[in-house]
Amino acid sequence: MFDATVREGVLRLRRPETRWLSTGWDGGRSRGGTAYNVSVPEGFDRTDLGAYREERLARAGFADDGDPPTLFTGVSMAHARGARRGPVVAYATAGLSNPAMLPVDPTGTANDDAGSSEPDAEAPVEAPTGEPARRPGTVNLILGTTRRLADGAAANLVAVAAEAKAATLLATAGVPGTTSDAVVVGDDPTGEPAAFSGSATPVGAAARVCVRDAVRASLRSRYPDGEYPGPTADAEHGVVADDRAEVFEL
């Protein structure tokens, strides 16, 4: 499987010649032996993330000549947790200081019919004036599988992981995620081929339970009293998507 090492606030996942797909900073597809999750200090405001990564890897004694997928979080790596089942392993760090909420019925008067006559149904949507401030919460996931994923299966496994994360967080803390969550998926180009990764496949089913159990374990470590900084605690840095879109028939 994958070799996990934590030093100086950096989690390194290592497995030779792994194919990676990352949704995080400088993400996309890559190939190499390592992926990282890096804990940043409170008040972190660096924008030269490539240089910062190299500083942190050097400080931790991790030599890496390539451009490995790297996630950043304000959560201490003391709260990183892993879970393994079948051909999948998942590593999670979970912090909820910046929850991202999506009310199903933001106006309190549900009406999903096309051509809704609600006052705001056809109102123009204002574009955001800027990016949300970077906050130190973040639920970061790194998944690895010994299977060789088809391109579509690798992309779908990102969605499977995100769905499992959202379901777990909603059941546990009442929020589906944060404003800065990210996922990295790694697979073995020499492994047994897997054309699909949905929830009914061996890879997808294993990924769902691994993500659930790793996220729950990280939350228990980070919030041992079960007091989450979500909506019930009026988290200071969260966002709520409480607008409504125009719904129409095709």
Residue 11 pLDDT level (bands cut at 50, 70, 90): very high
- In a domain, residue 120? The reply is no
Q: 38-52 as b/e, with b when 16 or more CB fall inside 10 Å?
A: bbbeeeeeeeeeeeb
At 73-97, the pLDDT tens digits run: 999 999 999 999 999 999 999 999 9
At 13-43, the pLDDT tens digits run: 999 999 999 999 999 999 999 999 999 998 9
Q: What is the pLDDT of residue 1?
A: 82
At 104-139, the pLDDT tens digits run: 888 765 555 444 444 444 444 444 444 444 445 799
Total domains, the chain: 1
SS3 track for 96-141:
CCCEEECCCCCCCCCCCCCCCCCCCCCCCCCCCCCCCCCCCCCEEE
- In a domain, residue 185? The reply is yes
- In a domain, residue 66? The reply is yes
Structural domain that includes position 28: 3-102+135-240
